[in-house]
Chain A
Amino acid sequence: MASLALWIILAPLMAALVTGLAGSHLGRRLTHMLTIAGVAVSCVLSFWVLLRVLGGARLDAPVYTWMVSGGIPFQIGFLVDPLSALLALVVTFVSLAVHIYSIGYMADDPGDIRFFSYISLFTFAMLLLVLANNFLQLFIGWEGVGLVSYLLIGFWFEKPTATAAALKAFLVNRIGDLGFILGIAMVLHYTGSLAYAAVFARVPDLVGTTVNLGFGWHVQVLTLMGLLLFVGAMGKSAQIPLHVWLPDSMEGPTPISALIHAATMVTAGVYLVARLSPLYIHAPVALSVILVIGSLTAFFMGILGVVATDIKRVIAYSTLSQLGYMMAGLGASAFAAGIFHLVTHAFFKALLFLAAGSVILAMHHEQDMRKMGGLRKYLPVTYATFLVGALALVAFPGFSGYFSKDALIDAVGQSPIAGAAFAYVLLLLSVFVTALYTFRMLFMVFHGTERMDAHTREHLHESPWVVTLPLVMLAVPALAVGWILFHPLLGGSFFASSLATPLGVNPLARFAHLTAWHFFLSAWDAPTFYLMLAGLGVAVYGYLWRPEWPARVAAGAGPLYRMLLQGYGFDALYLRLGAAGSVLLGRGLWKWGDERVIDGMAVNGTASRIGWLGSLVRKLQTGFLYQYAFTMVSALVVLVFWALVRY
C-alpha cells in the first residue's frame, strides 16, 4: 500500500523531471507521451487504491524521516483513507483529461514542452498535499502547487498582464500562507506533533485552553488555531477578501484554469478544512466564521458572474461562488457535503473550462462573449458537453451538481451553528444567481444571433478529437457521479474514518436513509428548484427573447452596475491601502533604512571593512619560507605559554 501511494506521486514527478530537464531533446511527441503516461499510471493506481480502501484497507505511515529537530521528527508519510483516496482519484482523473486536452490546445505554442512538464509537476505537488499524513508535507505540497500555479498563470510571460496576474496570485497567497504557517506553528506548539493522528488525539485535551493575545484578551486555542489555518485555506481557495487573485489567474492557458483554478488546487483549502474536521468540531467560532465567509463568497462572487463578458471570467466567478458553497458547507459542519460538492464541481467545472477553451480555440482566441453567439451548430460536441456542465452547475435535478449542492444547502439550513440562517438565505439567493449567469453564458455563446466577424465565421469548426475526447471523459462523471456517490458519501459510512461528525446536531442526519433516487424525486419540494427555474426564466427573457433588455437594466442601475464591473472595488482598495501604503513604507525603509543604514553602514560598510581585513590577511602570506616557519614556531610558543599560564 505504501509503495502504491509512493508510485502515485512519483510517476508524475518523474515525468515532470525528465521532460523538464531534457524536454528539448525528447521533442514534443515524446514529452506528451511521457507526461500522459505518468499521470495515467497515477490515475490507474489511484483507482486501485480507492478499490482497496473500499475493501477496508488503510495506511498511515511515514516513508522516511527527513530530520529530527528538537525531538520532533519531520517526516514524509502517507495517509490513505477514503478522503485522500477519493481526492487522489479526482485529481489524477481531471489531470489526465487536461493532459490529453492540452495536446490540442497547446499545439501551436512554442512553450508546450515546458507546459507539460509544469502540469505534471503540479499533479505531483497536489498529490503530495492530498496524500500527506502530516502538516509539514501538506505545507510542502501546498507551496508546491502555489509555485506551479504562479508559473502557469505567468506562462505567457511576454504578456505584462499575465506576469502581473501571476505576481498578484503569488502575493495574495503569501498573506494566506502567513496565517497558515502560524497555524501550523501553533499546532506544533500545543500538540507537540505535526502528524495528523497525533494532533487529533491531543485536540480534545485542548478544549478550554486559552491563549493570551495581550491586553488580557483570552482566546480559545482551538479557535485561534482553526482561524489561522483557515486564513491559509482562504488564500488558496480564494475566499473573500483574499479572492482577488482568482479572476486574474485566467490570464493563464485555459487547461490550467480547468485543472488548477477550478478542479484541484483552489479546492485545497476546502480539503484542508475537511481534513482537519476533528479539530474544527471543537472550534464552533471558527466554523461560524467559515460559514459566513463561505456564503458571502458564494453570493457576491456569483453576482459578478452576471456582469462579466469574458467567458473565462464568468466561469472564474462561478468557481469562486462554488468554492464559497463548499466552505459554507464545511462551516455548517456538513464536511461530507462540502467534499461531495468539491468532487462533483471538479468534474463539471473542469468540463466547463475545457469546453470554453474549445470555444476560444474555434474563435481564434477571442474570449469576449459579445462577439460570439449561435455557436451550437458549428461546435456540436462542445455544445452538448458544455450543456451538461452548465446543467450540473445550476444543480438541475439529475445532474451531479444537484445532488451535492442541494444537499449542501439543505445541510446549512439544518445547522445549529451561529450564522447558519444568514448563510442559508445567501446560499438560496445564490442559486438564482448561479442559474442566471450560467444560462446567460450558455445563450450568449451558443444561441442567439451570430455576432462574430465574417472571417472568424468562415473558419469555425469543431475542435480535434484530443480536445473533444476529454470533454466527453468529463461529461460522463458530470452526469453520473452524483448518482453514484450521493448515498455512500452523505448517508453511508464511507467517510466515517476520515471526517469527524459534529458534536451536536448532525446537519446531514436526514440523508442517512435517503437514496439518490428519492432525493431526485424530492426535487419539487425544495425552494432551490424554483429559484433555479427563475434564474433560467430571466436568462431566457433577457438573452434570447429581448436581447436589448440587459443593457437597459445596466444603464438603469448606473453606479451599482459600475461597482459590479469593478468587482466591488476590492482591487482599488488593496491598491490604495495595501499597495500604496506598502510602497510608502517601502520607500521610507528604502531611502532611510536601506540606503543609509543597511547599505551605507551595514552592507557596504561591513563589506569594505571585511574586504580590507581580507587584503590584510592576504599580506601575511608573504611566500617566504622563513616567515612561515617563524609563524609556526611562535604560535607554538604562544600555545605552550598559554597552556602553562592557564594551568
Chain B
Amino acid sequence: MMSMSAIAPEAWVAGGVLFVVLLEALRPFVRDRTLAFAIPASTLLALGLAAMSASFWTAASWGVFFDGGLIVDPLSRLLVVSVSVVALLVVIYSIGDLERHGFGHGEYYALLLSATLGILAIVTGANVLVLFLGIELLSLSLYALVSIDRERVIAAEAAMKYFFLGAIASGILLYGLSLLYGLSGTLSLAMLPKMIAGLGGGDRVLFLFATAFVIVALAFKFGAAPFHMWVPDVYEGSPTPITLLVGTIPELGAIALIMRLLVAGLHPLSAQWMPMVLGVAILSLLVGNLAALAQSNFKRLLAYSAIGHVGFILLGIATGTISGEIAAVYYTIIYVTMTLLAFGILLVLRARGRDVEDLDDLAGLSQIHPWWSLLMLFAMFSLAGIPPFVGFWAKLSILRALLGQGEVWVAVLAVIMAVVGAFYYLRVVKIMYFDRVANQKAMSVPWGIPELILSMNGLALIVLGLVPDALWQLCAWAVRY
C-alpha cells in the first residue's frame, strides 16, 4: 500500500492518459468538448490537491520504493508539484487557441499527459532504466506534439529534425548508460556512486568516457549549445501552444535529470565532469545571447534566449556546490514562470486577432493592448534580469554561487552576456512602446479565466521579486535533503 501511495501522482496521470484515449474512441457519442478539457485539468488539479495534504511534504511519505525504482524526496515533491502546476497552466493558456485552430482533440491532451508522465518518471526515478523510460516517453510525446499541425510544412520539418536528432541523442544516452551499467553492474542511482568510488585507474577512464556520453545527451535534452540546433526550429515551427509546452515543462524534466543522474549518480566524478558542463554552459551563453541579437522572428528570439538561460542554469551545476545546485533549480523554476508568461501573452494576443510572428508584429502594441504590453514588459524585464523582477534574483543566485567558488571570470562573462541579453529584451519593449504602425484595429475580446490567470502569472514576477527568499528556501530545502 505504501508503495502505491508513493506513485499516486504517476498513477493519476497514467489513468488520465488512458481515460482521454478511451474518451476519444467514444468521440461520436461525446460531443461536449469541455469534457476533453476537464479530464487533464482534473487530473492535474488532483495532483495539486494531493500536494496540499500535510503528509505529502513530511518525511513520513519519503523513501525508496519498488525495489529502488522510485525515490520520493523533497526534490521530487517540489518538481512533481511544479510540473503539474505548469502543465495545468499550459492547458489553460492553450485551450482557446487549440479549439480555434482545430487541434483541441483528445490526442493533444493524451500527449500532454503522457509527456507529463514521462517527466514525473524522471523526477521520481531512482533507477537508470526508469529515467531512460521517462526520457523516451517525454520525447516521443513531444515529437508527436510538434507535428500536431501536420498540414504545415514548417511544423513537419521541425518535428522531423527534432525526431532525428532526438533519436541520435537517445542512442548516445543509451550507450553511455549501458557503459555505466557494464562498469558498475548496477542500475540503481543510489549504488552507482559507491561503485565508482570503489574503482581504480583504468575503469575510471571508462567511466569518464560514459560520463561524456551522458552529458551530451543531457545537454541535448536541455537544449544547450552545441546540441541546441533543434531548439530554434522547433520553437518557430510548432504552433504557439505547442511551443509554450515545449519551452516550459521539459525544462523541469531536464533539471531533474541533471540533478538525479549527474549531480547525484555521478557525484564521485564531479571534478571531471564539472569542466565539461562549464564548457557547455559558456558555449550556450555565447551562442544563445549572440544569436538572439540577429533574430527577427519573436519565437526564434525566445528560442535563443532559452539557450542562453540554459547556459546560466548549467553554470550553477558547473560550480559543483550545493548553493550552485540550489541556484540552478531556483533559476529553472523562475525561468519556466517567465516563459509561461511570454508565450501565454502571445496566445492571448492571437485570440485578439494579432498573430505575432516577427518582432515587428509587436509594434505599437502598447496603444491597443496596454495591459498585455505591460505584462510582456514584465516578462522581458524579468528575463533580462532587471530588478525588482524575480529574474534578477535568479541571475544573482547563480553569480553568487560562481563567485563563491572564485570563478570571477566566468561570472564576468555571464554578466556581459546578461547585458547583451538585456539588449534584445529591451528591443522588444522598445518596439511595443515606441514603434508606431498605421491602421491598427483593436479586437475586443472579453476576459476569461485564462486572461485572469495569465495576469496573475505576470504579477507573480513582481511579487516573487519582492519576496525572493521564500522560493529560494523551498529550493534549498529540496536540494539539501
Contact = CB atoms under 8 A, between A and B. Distances in A.
A625 B469 contact: no
Interface stretch (A101-109, A351-359, A632-640): A632-640
A631 B294 contact: no
B164 A629 contact: yes
A3 interface: no
Given A621-B229, A646-B272, 17 more contacts: A64-B467, A66-B467, A610-B420, A614-B290, A614-B294, A617-B286, A617-B294, A625-B161, A627-B229, A628-B165, A632-B169, A632-B216, A636-B216, A642-B276, A643-B208, A643-B209, A643-B212
Contacts of B161: 625, 628
Contact of A647 (B164, B208, B229, B420): B208
10 contacts: A64-B467, A615-B294, A632-B169, A632-B229, A635-B226, A635-B227, A639-B212, A639-B215, A643-B276, A646-B272
Interface string A566-602: 0000000000000000000000000000000000000
B290 A647 contact: no
A206 interface: no
B204 interface: yes
Contacts of A644: 205, 208-209
Given A64-B467, A611-B294, A613-B290, A632 B226 contact: yes
Contact of B272 (A65, A631, A643): A643
B251 interface: no
A646 B292 CA distance: 33
Contacts of B467: 64, 66
B96 interface: no
A639 B227 CA distance: 12
Contact of B233 (A623, A629, A631): A623
Closest 10 CB pairs of A and B: A614-B293, A628-B229, A614-B294, A617-B291, A618-B294, A643-B208, A640-B212, A614-B290, A635-B226, A639-B212
A57 interface: no
A622 to B, nearest CB: 9
Contacts of A643: 208-209, 211-212, 272, 276
A100 B258 CA distance: 62
Contact of B287 (A617, A632, A646): A617
Interface string B51-70: 00000000000000000000
B275 interface: yes
Q: Which of B279, B294, B469 has the most CB of A within 10 A?
A: B294
Interface residues of A, number: 33
Given A643-B276, A646-B272, A636 B229 contact: no
B160 interface: yes
Interface of B: 160-161, 164-165, 168-169, 172, 204-205, 208-209, 211-213, 215-216, 220, 226-227, 229-230, 232-233, 272, 275-276, 279, 286-287, 290-295, 393, 420, 423, 466-469
Given A64-B467, A639-B215, A640-B212, A617 B290 contact: yes
Contacts of B292: 614
A64 B233 CA distance: 45
A10 to B, nearest CB: 14
Nearest to B157: A623
Contact of A621 (B165, B286, B291): B291
Contacts of B230: 628
A68 interface: yes
A629 B216 CA distance: 12
Contacts of A627: 229
Contacts of A647: 204-205, 208, 272
B293 A67 contact: no
Most chain-A CB neighbours within 10 Å: which of B204, B209, B215, B290?
B290
Interface in A278-309: none
B216 A639 contact: yes
A81 to B, nearest CB: 27
B389 to A, nearest CB: 14
A625 B216 contact: no
Nearest to B165: A628
A625 B163 CA distance: 11
B276 A639 contact: yes
Contacts of A615: 294
Contacts of A639: 212, 215-216, 276, 279
**Interface SS of chain A: helix, strand, loop or mixed?**
helix
A632 B469 contact: no
A629 B165 contact: yes
Contacts of B226: 631-632, 635
A623 B234 CA distance: 11
B293 A610 contact: yes
A610 B423 CA distance: 11
A642 B276 CA distance: 8
Nearest to A639: B212
Given A621-B291, A628-B229, A636 B213 contact: yes
B232 A621 contact: yes
A598 B271 CA distance: 41
Interface of A: 64-68, 607, 610-611, 613-618, 620-621, 623, 625, 627-629, 631-633, 635-636, 639-640, 642-644, 646-647
A620 B290 CA distance: 12
A636 to B, nearest CB: 5
A610 B293 CA distance: 8
B284 to A, nearest CB: 12
A137 to B, nearest CB: 13
A611 B161 CA distance: 28
B371 to A, nearest CB: 10
A91 B294 CA distance: 54
B236 to A, nearest CB: 11
Given A65-B469, A614-B290, A617-B287, A629 B212 contact: no
B30 to A, nearest CB: 40
A347 B287 CA distance: 64
Contact of A610 (B211, B212, B290): B290
B301 to A, nearest CB: 11
B306 to A, nearest CB: 14
B287 A67 contact: no
A631 B229 contact: yes
Contacts of B165: 625, 628-629, 632
A620 B295 CA distance: 13
Contacts of B272: 643, 646-647
Contacts of A66: 466-469
Contacts of A640: 209, 212-213
Nearest to B220: A632
A629 B230 CA distance: 10
Contacts of B291: 614, 617-618, 621
Contacts of B294: 611, 614-615, 617-618
A62 to B, nearest CB: 12
Interface centre among B293, B420, B466, by most chain A C-beta atoms within 10 angstroms, is: B293
A627 B423 CA distance: 30
A640 to B, nearest CB: 5
B477 to A, nearest CB: 16
A617 B226 CA distance: 11
A629 B165 CA distance: 6
A152 to B, nearest CB: 24
B160 A625 contact: yes
A625 B293 contact: no
Contacts of A635: 216, 226-227
B275 A646 contact: yes
A625 to B, nearest CB: 5
A8 to B, nearest CB: 20
Contact of A629 (B168, B393, B469): B168
A636 B275 contact: no
Contacts of B295: 618
A498 B271 CA distance: 57
User: Among B161, B291, B468, which residue has the most Cβ atoms of chain A within 10 A?
Assistant: B291
Which residue, of A613, A621, A632, A633, has the highest number of chain B Cβ atoms within 10 A?
Answer: A632
A621 B292 CA distance: 12
A294 to B, nearest CB: 37
